[in-house]
Amino acid sequence: MDVPCALQPSSHHDFAREVKVRVDAYFTRNKLSKHTNTTMITKTVVLVSLYFGSYGLIVSGLLPLPWMWFLCLALGVGMAGIGFAVTHDALHGAYSADPRVNRLLGHVFAALGANPYIWKLTHNHIHHTYPNIQGYDEDLEVSPLIRLSPHAPRKPIHRFQHVFAFFAYSFATLFWVFVKDYKYFLRLFSGSGVLDGGRIMPPRRRQVRRGGLCRGGGRYVRTGRSRDRRAASPARCRDAAVTTSAAATRGPRPC
């Protein structure tokens, strides 16, 4: 598989800096807050009330079955709205200028069944660092039945994904709650994934040495079954380090 194209580091930094300058200028020029406003607060109250209100009525068993089906639909709308429009911003630290408010709303994400800590690692750091890069952006790997990137392996069943994709996505929440978060949690702490500066690096990017793992250029060292929270000397990792893939060593090729 070809290594995807990426911007050169210098041009990437210049581009990101220019975007930030223009965005800041837009908010300053229009006298707008970068954080929540009255409309956002109203939307938050409505969505949270819809979700928890629907859930409370469902578990109460006070309504007939047709109303229960309607409440399930309302519950799903509330869940999607909270995830996409409330906790997403809070976990990015963008909902409020007060980190405590962002943290509090982030806990609502846990009430939906997802883990805020794992989401911040996989979304904030992985997805926004490698957007739409196959093998790095986990949002492209929702299911082996769905092919979302031209760099992903092609399977015969993908010819019909436009037919069954909507049905398959109905299981996304169950997969997220019971499989996805556990997978990344175990990958993070078992040594098959590497934590580098708060980021889970894909396994093929790691450096392996005999008897343990050099994490993030020596951030962690794991020897045998024990994990020592101490820095490894660069020479210690470099002398015995091996890379699992030449393409991974090169990383995304320049444009």
Tens of pLDDT along 78-119? Answer: 999 999 999 999 999 999 999 999 999 999 988 888 889 888
Residue 92 has a CB neighbour count (10 Å cut-off) of: 14
Q: What residue segments make up the domains of the chain, in order of their start? A: 33-112, 125-189, 195-254
What average pLDDT is seen over the chain? 75
35 touches 97 (CB < 8 A): yes
The reported pLDDT for the residue numbered 192 is 54
d(CA 71, CA 74): 5
The confidence band for 167, taking pLDDT boundaries of 50, 70 and 90, is confident
Global pTM value:
0.66
36 touches 166 (CB < 8 A): no
Q: Is the pLDDT of residue 34 over 80?
A: yes
Q: List strand residue ranges (DSSP E) for the chain, in order.
A: 5-6, 194-195, 200-201, 207-209, 212-215, 220-223, 226-228, 242-243, 253-254
Q: Is the pLDDT of residue 32 over 50?
A: yes
Tens of pLDDT along 47-83? Answer: 999 999 999 999 998 999 999 999 999 999 999 999 9
d(CA 94, CA 85): 11
Question: Higher pLDDT residue, 236 or 57?
Answer: 57
Nearest to 133 by CA among 19, 245, 13, 255: 255
Tens of pLDDT along 171-224? Answer: 888 888 888 888 888 877 765 554 444 445 544 444 333 333 344 433 333 333
The reported pLDDT for the residue numbered 74 is 95
d(CA 125, CA 29): 30
The reported pLDDT for the residue numbered 193 is 53
